[in-house]
Amino acid sequence: MSASRAAVRRVLTDPGGAVGVVLSAAMVALALLAPAIAPVDPFAAVGAPLSPPGRVHLLGTDDLGRDLLAGVVHGARTSLLVVAAVTLLSGALGIAVGAAAGYRPGAVDDLLMRLAELAQVVPRFFLAVIVIALFGPGLDRLVLVLGLTSWPTLARVVRAQILSLRRQEFVEAARALGASGPRVILRHVLPHALPAALVVLSLNGAAVILLEAGLAFIGLGDPHAMSWGYLASNAQRFLRVAWWMACFPGAAIAGAILGLNLLGDALSELASPQLARASGSGGRGTAAAA
């Protein structure tokens, strides 16, 4: 059995990991299949206002007669888009900064870690509020703000892993065989640091969902994109007469965050023995490929 298959099997056999995979996969499926699941426009009135869940509208309608199922599944698409974009941006920054800082200790390390500390103390939610208030709402601005402020923890984790790996025998052997610095980092060091990086990225994804929903809840989301936070905000005035308006978007937010957190916990447990092997004799075989 290959290492990747063994890793997937370990995650799926862990109860928390299995639940995390199911919930995360459900969110991705809702986002990708949104046009097929709910082909109607989530902003269009298609029924009587405040209709309870039934055969015609499975999750009911809101105060304007809009189908709540369409709102929830299209809101999943918005959340997935934001999470994917922020993860790509923050992941690229965090891994690059962490790798550079860990492989080049000294002045470079000190400068990059001071920058990471500066970015880490900035309150992301309030910074996003200020940016949106100054430049207007939009998913592009939200992605930039969250992506440019979500990398410090990842950079610190990657740096710590590389500091523990850079003096291992397989790295020294790769250097002795003439491998360049970038090649050593990309081929021999980073693969051992990626499991811990994936844990941080999954937990960051959960935080991004909550931040995006919170901004939409207070009216600072993209007015042209349906989101779970917007649906939850719209439900406030009708909590006593239309419980479904708050229940289903809230359940979607809770399920997505719970899924990513459980997946992150499972990946963390999976990464621990791998990191232990990388710090020991497990990396010796890598040197032969240099």
Instruction: For residue 4, name the pLDDT band (cuts at 50, 70, 90).
Output: low
Instruction: For residue 2, name the pLDDT band (cuts at 50, 70, 90).
Output: low
Residue 52 lies in a domain: no
Measured distance CA(256)–CA(251) in Å, rounded: 8
Cα distances (angstroms) measured from residue 10 to each of 16, 29, 176, 271: 11, 23, 36, 11
The per-residue pLDDT for range 30-39, each reduced to its tens digit, is 999 999 999 9
- CATH at 119: 1.10.3720.10
Residue 53 lies in a domain: no
Find, among 256, 243, 214, 216, the residue nearest to 76 by Cα.
Answer: 256
The DSSP element (H or E) to which 91 belongs, if any, is helix 68-103
Section 248-269 average pLDDT: 91
Give the predicted TM-score (pTM) of the model.
0.84
| Contacts of 280 by beta carbon, 8 Å cutoff, 6+ apart | none
| Contacts of 37 by beta carbon, 8 Å cutoff, 6+ apart | 30, 69, 73
Section 68-79 average pLDDT: 94
Residue 2 lies in a domain: no
Section 236-254 average pLDDT: 94
The per-residue pLDDT for range 174-209, each reduced to its tens digit, is 777 777 767 777 777 788 888 889 889 999 999 999
Q: Residue 124: pLDDT above 70? A: yes
Q: Residue 117: pLDDT above 80? A: yes
Domain ranges, residue 170: 13-47+58-287
Residue 6 lies in a domain: no
Tokens of 123: 């309150």
Per the structure, how many domains does the chain have? 1
Task: Give the pLDDT of residue 279.
Answer: 43
